[in-house]
Amino acid sequence: MNRFTYLYLLLAVFFIHACSTTNTTEQDDQDREVAEQDQRPYQEEIDSLMAEMTLEEKIGQLNLLSSGFTETGPTLQDDYQDMIADGNMGGIFNGFTVEHTRDLQRIAVEETRLGIPLIFGFDVIHGYQTIFPVPIGETATWEPDLIKEASQVAAEEAAAAGVHWTFAPMLDVSPDPRWGRIVESAGEDPLLNEIFGEARVKGFEGDDLKDLNTILSTAKHYIAYSEAEGGRDYNTVDISERMLREIHLPPFRAALDAGAGTVMTAFNEYDGVPATGNQFLFNDILRGELGFEGFVVTDYTAIPEMIEHGVAADEADAAELAMNANVDMDMQSINYVEELPGLIEEGKISEDQVDQAVERILRKKFKLGLFEDPYRYSDYDREEETIMRDDFLELALDISKRSIVLMKNEDQTLPLSREEVNDIAVIGPLADNQYDLLGSWSAAGEYEDNITLLEGIRNNVEDNTNITYAEGTELEFEDYTTDGIEEAVEIAEDADVAVVAVGEGRHMSGEAASRVSLDLPGAQEELLEAVHETGTPVVMVLMSGRPMTINWAEENVPAIMNTWFLGTKAGEAIAQVMFGDYNPAGKLPVTYPRHTGMSPYYYNHKNTGRPMDPDERYTSKYIDEENSPLYPFGFGLSYTTFGYDNIQLGSDEISKDGTVEVSVEVTNTGDYTGEEVVQLYTRKMVASVTRPVKELRDFEKIELDPGETRTVTFDLDAEQLYYYDKDMEYGIEPGEVRVFVGTNSEEVLEDSFTVR
């Protein structure tokens, strides 16, 4: 045998071995695939249904259209009912009530070849018809368990009205108050967004989507939508991967870990590629690292908007980009229905890719029980007995009171005494206003159900108390009149106290509502100053969806209540707090800048190489404004006062996977029983990358009677301090960690420990 024959034999043996190994490996893969299949419920039902479906019917499942009960975007497709009947529809959104959902579901189930039921989606953001405070207000309670309950109520009401799926929670960490959608967020801090995102998902989805009081949730907007330059909605976003992973991903990871069943694409780009076609975001991170198995829905017409972004030449291009990013459902553009058949024909997209998307959507429909009974969520009796139930309204009242942040209370102006105050002037464009109290994204909330502030006050005073009212001015940026100010001044002059309700209209924040100024719109400050001029003590009630530059009020008005938009029970809640029936304990989830020009302005900022020093010229500061927050992150007063003392650390050195106990003594040093949110922050003093000067790590809300002292203890794990180092390695480098504990992000006690 010559050496070549020997070599060939050797190669042949190797090849046979390799094949057998490959076969074995393939066998392993198949076994694993089968095992995984078993973990994917309804696989058999899905497979057998899909085996019957034509390509057109499959693509129809990827189509989601609004039936237009509410307007949440620039276009509507009037022929949505025909598309349902043609089998070209997977879901309908912005359509609700039992009657409407039954009508549309009947078309899908009875008029199409396979009768695949529709999924109904809706923006149930802070309540369905019982409207809770806007999310930034809910977050001000710093009580995630309570907000989980609110989400459970929202789910129960929505599910009783034919809704299967909410486009919430919104998880956008929001550092810029010019951006109108800050109202929908849990504020500027990643940890609060994580904790409240998890609470909302658990409230919506419960333990079983088949329960008739749970609905599918949506982790949105994936991702970093809130970093729009200039705070201008839909504007360019350009952040580092480090910022993406440290600030914006954690809330999504928490929501997915809590079971969020769907994810919505953001309108914006990330690293130059619009999210809706971004394979790094969706294939590498969402599906790869986070292992997400639910379905992805685009935001409103986001697929063809990639043409405007300039990354797609036409609709077909845009559809290809989205499908290659594993984006499953097309909201409102009918781009998939129109373009996917051609793309498959041309071999640019495979039918397998469509199958994957269809399977993810069908699995949620099976989990919701829609194939067992497509009408199970559309029951007239349950709708009648569930919506606006008394216990739901009681919860809304409680949460509304807990969302109120007391910003100022000079000389104990508040609480008002029912006995001593006999003449109250109620003034301002938000005083006798039902419509604006619901805030933006108020779903099926009917403002006629609202208790106005004027009504709330009337309901909470002695019969012999004289209440007068004057609107004073309107909620307008322009074309407002000041004629009403004179009347407001007159009633204020005769009163013991003037309650002045000012702020924004509900549509001055929310989507497509960015502002260049955070000032009170129109002549509201003029009204406030005129009433103040009378010498009658003023209680300012601020209603808004974002931080506002109420500098004059902070300087001159003795009492300021920040009431966000508190929803259905707003007026009752504000009045009960105003008269002391509940001692306010809300804390700000966002920083209030002194001037709009300081935005974005947030507590967890970097130190820079020239940190702000008012006495040094060459430091990072504005020369025409005081360089400090008007109100800091975590700020909120009480009718009582609290003292902090004796911060203690359990050890002064821990390992990279160690834990250090941090304790502090909190005393109620005032005259009222009150609640206090004790906040724990840290700072990594030296690292291979710059680190924020403070980062919220934990908090605990406690209640203390006058004179009572309690030791509050936190177990701080080194893992809570992890970050991405200069090589993007996640962990913590040795060195000093400063610890801060206090009543807000500025008034703190300090100590430090070392990580070995």
Residue positions annotated with a catalytic role = 299
**Among 189, 79, 178, 107, residue whose Cα is nearest residue 140:** 189
CB contact set of 583 (below 8 Å; sequence gap of 6+): 577, 638, 639, 640, 672, 673, 674, 675
Asked if residues 331 and 93 have their Cβ atoms less than 8 Å apart, the reply is: yes
> Would you say 72 or 278 has its CB closer to ligand GLC?
72
* Distance (Å, whole) CA 593 – CA 176: 10
Q: In the bound complex, what is the minimum distance in angstroms from residue 123's beta carbon to ligand GLC?
A: 5
> Would you say 138 or 379 has its CB closer to ligand GLC?
138
Q: In the bound complex, what is the minimum distance in angstroms from residue 177's beta carbon to ligand GLC?
A: 18
| Cα 588–chain centre separation | 15
* Distance (Å, whole) CA 667 – CA 645: 8
> Would you say 266 or 630 has its CB closer to ligand GLC?
266
> Would you say 69 or 552 has its CB closer to ligand GLC?
69
> Would you say 227 or 511 has its CB closer to ligand GLC?
511
**Binding residues for ligand GLC (CB under 6 A):** 72-73, 123, 167, 220, 299-300, 511
Q: In the bound complex, what is the minimum distance in angstroms from residue 167's beta carbon to ligand GLC?
A: 3
Q: 622: helix, coil or strand?
A: coil
Q: In the bound complex, what is the minimum distance in angstroms from residue 163's beta carbon to ligand GLC?
A: 13
> What are the residue ranges of helices labelled H in 346-404?
351-367, 380-386, 390-403
Q: In the bound complex, what is the minimum distance in angstroms from residue 511's beta carbon to ligand GLC?
A: 6
> Would you say 72 or 174 has its CB closer to ligand GLC?
72
Q: In the bound complex, what is the minimum distance in angstroms from residue 96's beta carbon to ligand GLC?
A: 12
Q: How many C-alpha atoms does 288 have within 13 Å on its Cβ side? A: 8
Q: Count of CB atoms within 10 A of residue 47's CB? A: 13
DSSP letters spanning 43-62: HHHHHHHHHH--HHHHHHTT
Tokens of 746: 């500025």
Asked if residues 571 and 168 have their Cβ atoms less than 8 Å apart, the reply is: no
What residues does 296 pair with on adjacent strands? 263
Strand locations in 394-544 (E): 405-409, 423-427, 466-470, 497-503, 538-543
Residues recorded for the chain: 756
Q: In the bound complex, what is the minimum distance in angstroms from residue 297's beta carbon to ligand GLC?
A: 9
Q: 280: helix, coil or strand?
A: helix
* Distance (Å, whole) CA 596 – CA 64: 38
**Among 110, 213, 206, 96, residue whose Cα is nearest residue 162:** 96
Please state whether beta strands 659-668 and 709-717 pair in parallel, antiparallel, or not at all (unpaired): antiparallel
> Would you say 220 or 365 has its CB closer to ligand GLC?
220
> Would you say 248 or 684 has its CB closer to ligand GLC?
248
> Would you say 264 or 343 has its CB closer to ligand GLC?
264
CB contact set of 9 (below 8 Å; sequence gap of 6+): 1
Residue type, 664: V
Q: In the bound complex, what is the minimum distance in angstroms from residue 131's beta carbon to ligand GLC?
A: 17
* Distance (Å, whole) CA 85 – CA 66: 15
> Would you say 263 or 495 has its CB closer to ligand GLC?
263
**Among 218, 88, 70, 181, residue whose Cα is nearest residue 515:** 181
* Distance (Å, whole) CA 487 – CA 468: 11
> Would you say 123 or 176 has its CB closer to ligand GLC?
123
Q: How many C-alpha atoms does 528 have within 13 Å on its Cβ side? A: 28
Helix 315-324 to helix 335-345 angle, to the nearest 10 degrees? 80
To which residue do tokens 């040795």 refer? 734
* Distance (Å, whole) CA 152 – CA 203: 4
CB contact set of 65 (below 8 Å; sequence gap of 6+): 77, 80, 83, 89, 91, 92, 93, 332, 334
Q: In the bound complex, what is the minimum distance in angstroms from residue 64's beta carbon to ligand GLC?
A: 9
Tokens of 689: 């990358």
Angle at 569 between CA 406 and CA 511, to 5 degrees: 80
> Would you say 132 or 714 has its CB closer to ligand GLC?
132
C-alpha distances in Å from residue 749, one per residue of 136, 176, 257, 636: 27, 28, 34, 17
> Would you say 73 or 580 has its CB closer to ligand GLC?
73
**Among 328, 299, 306, 305, residue whose Cα is nearest residue 511:** 299
* Distance (Å, whole) CA 377 – CA 99: 11
Q: In the bound complex, what is the minimum distance in angstroms from residue 400's beta carbon to ligand GLC?
A: 23
